[in-house]
């Protein structure tokens, strides 16, 4: 099961491992509701929305308060279920008011599915999701959102590992160069977060470096290299190599056609990046172990950072990758099970 946190930080829920968040896939990022369904062969769609009740919604509140309980000390929401059959599309609706938030959930499917075993199985999943929904207390909102955004960051990193494996399989030097430079940048951002937690003896996740909204000022790669040097994460020699490789990478991407750059040179750049990525990977491992030993921060937990993924965790990761890729052909050929995600890529 995977956790989902609403972008506004109002609520969270657990979704089944075979479900994915569909808003991004359907290009509906600004939708008022969040939509979930199985990535493959969905028979229905689950949607949830949460609205702050204002004066112009008082009729809703007046109507619902007649039959909705607000005293829920366990945190579990006491939804009221309503079934609306139709000749074409059936709908289940669940509603509740929590403080000044109106929470509405729907599950819709083609009426020909009514009564089938497949539908009963999906409805069981829906009701499990409903039982897992929790409103997030304002004082915990930043912490919950930061943890969720960190998980999304790590899922994106895993997706890049999958793409890199394809690039190696296809011998695509340009793609290898781009992806390795992305991974090095992401790894340094991760270590900066881990070091700050160790220095501050804190579990707070500073997401400034790993989460950028559309209008945020970006923190560029060279800034990250400089920050890593200033924090003693990398030495001057490695910092200078990264600067040189950054310029070579840009030449590969932007000036391959208009310069005397040879394809042979692109492969050389890809190889140099692969060597640097191994060095950075070792640094990441060192900081993970430092947190694990000190029992501080993201990796200050009981289980070792090197613990292999369980089958259930692999299934959850697989669906996270599908959600990130959002591409039918790529998702039909996901490669991550071909190698160990708990160790750094050894190919060059």
pTM for the full model?
A: 0.84
Q: What mean pLDDT value characterizes the chain? A: 87
What number is the average pLDDT over the span 239-245?
Answer: 97
Asked whether the predicted pLDDT for residue 340 surpasses 60, the reply is no
* Beta sheet of 11-15, edge-to-edge order: 2-5, 11-15, 134-135
Asked whether the predicted pLDDT for residue 141 surpasses 50, the reply is yes
Asked whether the predicted pLDDT for residue 77 surpasses 80, the reply is yes
CA proximity to 176, closest of 253, 228, 115, 107: 253
Half-sphere exposure of 16 toward its Cβ, with a 13 Å CA cutoff? 17
Residue 272 confidence (pLDDT): 97
What number is the average pLDDT over the span 171-183?
Answer: 97
pLDDT, one tens digit per residue, over 189-200 is 999 999 999 999
Angstrom CA distances, 70 to 3, 61, 235, stand at: 24, 12, 57
Asked whether the predicted pLDDT for residue 56 surpasses 80, the reply is no
Residue 206 confidence (pLDDT): 92
* Confidence category of residue 94, pLDDT binned at 50, 70, 90: very high
Asked whether the predicted pLDDT for residue 182 surpasses 80, the reply is yes
């Amino acid at each position: 099961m995977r956790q989902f946190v609403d972008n506004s930080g109002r609520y969270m829920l657990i979704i089944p491992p075979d479900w994915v968040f569909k808003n991004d896939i359907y290009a509906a990022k600004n939708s008022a509701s969040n939509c979930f369904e199985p990535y493959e062969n969905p028979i229905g769609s689950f949607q949830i929305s949460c609205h702050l009740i204002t004066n112009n919604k008082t009729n809703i509140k007046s109507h619902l308060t007649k039959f909705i309980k607000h005293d829920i000390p366990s945190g579990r929401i006491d939804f009221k279920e309503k079934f609306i059959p139709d000749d074409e599309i059936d709908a289940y609706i669940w509603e509740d008011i929590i403080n000044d938030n109106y929470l509405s959930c729907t599950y819709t499917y083609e009426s020909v599915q009514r009564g089938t075993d497949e539908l009963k199985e999906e409805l069981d999943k829906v009701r499990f999701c409903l039982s897992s929904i929790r409103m997030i207390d304002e004082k915990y909102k930043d912490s919950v959102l930061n943890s969720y955004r960190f998980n999304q960051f790590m899922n994106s990193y895993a997706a890049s590992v999958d793409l890199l494996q394809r690039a190696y399989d296809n011998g695509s030097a340009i793609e290898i160069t781009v992806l390795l430079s992305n991974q090095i940048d992401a790894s340094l951002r991760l270590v900066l977060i881990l070091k700050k937690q160790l220095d501050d003896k804190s579990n707070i996740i500073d997401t400034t470096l790993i989460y950028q909204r559309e209008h945020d000022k970006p923190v560029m790669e060279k800034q990250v290299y400089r920050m890593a040097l200033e924090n003693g994460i990398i030495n001057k020699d490695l910092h200078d190599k990264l600067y040189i490789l950054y310029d070579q990478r840009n030449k590969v991407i932007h000036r391959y056609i208009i310069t005397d750059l040879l394809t042979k040179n692109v492969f050389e750049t890809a190889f140099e990046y692969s060597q640097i990525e191994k060095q950075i990977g070792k640094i990441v491992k060192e900081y993970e172990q430092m947190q694990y030993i000190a029992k501080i921060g993201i990796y200050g937990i009981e289980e070792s950072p090197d613990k292999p993924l369980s089958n259930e965790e692999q299934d959850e990761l697989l669906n996270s990758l599908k959600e990130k890729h959002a591409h039918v052909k790529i998702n039909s050929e996901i490669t991550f099970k071909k190698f160990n995600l708990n160790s750094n890529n050894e190919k060059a």
